[in-house]
Structure 1
């Protein structure tokens, strides 16, 4: 089971590397790593488990954050308007289009690999389209797909994707954003 001690922090060189492609078919090691990553994200959203294991809440985790420089990440994020839960285990993603229309999280983004006291405003595309390999963590089945994401899941995808490029949200932070609307929850 992955814990906070397994998540490397800003300043660690792996966080600044461009991650390598994951070889297919998926090795047992890569599959188990992806399962462990998903377990950490899911556990971090359970209040009882966050207390028991001293976890910080999260909605995503990329392999570079656990010192594995490979193109894979997990997301467990609800859509802010529909409540639909996006639970994705992704390998070798490629964002193929970004909307020109931008948004940001009004409360700021945070990251397990950055001191928990630091949050910041980051401009993100409102909508993205990405080519991905989605991994079913029950059956090991891999589905090649082109997915479209918007709202909160789209922001989370962009944040995790940045990790694969060696970029942290603190690199893109702005002190104040007044020319675009923040993402609204619960409307």
Structure 2
């Protein structure tokens, strides 16, 4: 079991020279958990200028619920052309089902590289595959959000095995919702199971900002958007921007 409770500058793959991002024990995650050393970045999203909620939002899954077993992705599902572009709401790809990845090859590694690249270029700290129009269960993120700094994390077919009972609000944005930011309430920590870029299974605990980024991107893989998690009061404050 590995624990990602904070980003610590003593980690061998950690290039960030600034202060700790949280007051937690040092990070000890095997290098296979991170992306290829030669590749750049990943990110969370921001916020968008959508039209009215044209399609009814998918009911947000309750924290702790487990998604049903998903269809496997074919090689064609992972085809893409570089450079990638961010899909913005209300594009239906943001609500579509995302398939599990079963092939861990060079094409997947190239896709991860491209996702990090567009994430950094758009000032993100996390990005999910459906946000670049590819409906598979893949996410990348780097809580520092700078190319060459922090930890680049790749998660394939992630699942949550445990959410903390303690919840907190955080001011979130989304790259698929440029310019829109609002408070979203989420568990403060999660325990997840996933595969790495080579297909190896692992489990990890996330807390603080990494847990927040993961949950935001994990929601994208379930077709859930960040405004689905907002209270009515918060949603009212951004409704005009959404419309």
Q: Report the TM-score, using the length of structure 1 for normalisation.
A: 0.73
Q: Which residue of 1 aligns with 2:12?
A: none
In the TM superposition, 1:21-36 aligns within 5 A as 21-24=100-103, 26-36=104-114
In the TM superposition, 1:67-82 aligns within 5 A as 67-78=133-144
Among 154, 176, 180, the alignment partner of 1:118 is 180
Q: Which residue of 2 aligns with 1:128?
A: 190
Residues 1:57 and 2:123 are matched in the alignment: yes
Structure 2 unaligned runs (5+)? 1-81, 235-243
Q: Against the structure 1 CA distance between its residues 128 and 86, is the aligned structure 2 distance closer, same or farther, given a 3 Å change threshold?
A: farther
Residues 1:40 and 2:118 are matched in the alignment: yes
The alpha carbon displacement at 1:171 in A equals 1.3
SS state at 1:30 partner: helix
Q: Larger RCO: Structure 1 or Structure 2 (Cα < 8 Å, ≥ 6 residues apart)?
A: 2
- CA displacement 1:58-101 (0-9 Å, x = unmatched): 100100001100000101014xxxxx934211110001110110
For residues 125 and 75 of structure 1, what CA distance do their matches in structure 2 show?
18
For residues 105 and 94 of structure 2, what CA distance do their matches in structure 1 show?
23
For residues 195 and 169 of structure 2, what CA distance do their matches in structure 1 show?
26
The alpha carbon displacement at 1:27 in A equals 3.3
4+ residue runs of structure 1 moved beyond 3 angstroms?
none
The alpha carbon displacement at 1:143 in A equals 3.2
For residues 117 and 159 of structure 1, what CA distance do their matches in structure 2 show?
17
- Structure index of larger Rg: 2
Q: Which residue of 2 aligns with 1:48?
A: none
SS state at 1:10 partner: coil
SS state at 1:122 partner: strand
Q: Which residue of 2 aligns with 1:180?
A: none
Kindly indicate whether the alpha-carbon contact (under 8 Å) linking 1:62 and 1:72 is maintained by their aligned counterparts in 2. Answer: yes
Residues 1:148 and 2:205 are matched in the alignment: yes
Among 64, 80, 86, the alignment partner of 1:7 is 86
Q: Against the structure 1 CA distance between its residues 2 and 109, is the aligned structure 2 distance closer, same or farther, given a 3 Å change threshold?
A: farther
- CA displacement 1:15-52 (0-9 Å, x = unmatched): 0012100113x1333221111112222x33xxxxxxxx
Q: Which residue of 2 aligns with 1:157?
A: 214
For residues 101 and 58 of structure 1, what CA distance do their matches in structure 2 show?
26
For residues 85 and 122 of structure 1, what CA distance do their matches in structure 2 show?
24
For residues 149 and 40 of structure 1, what CA distance do their matches in structure 2 show?
24
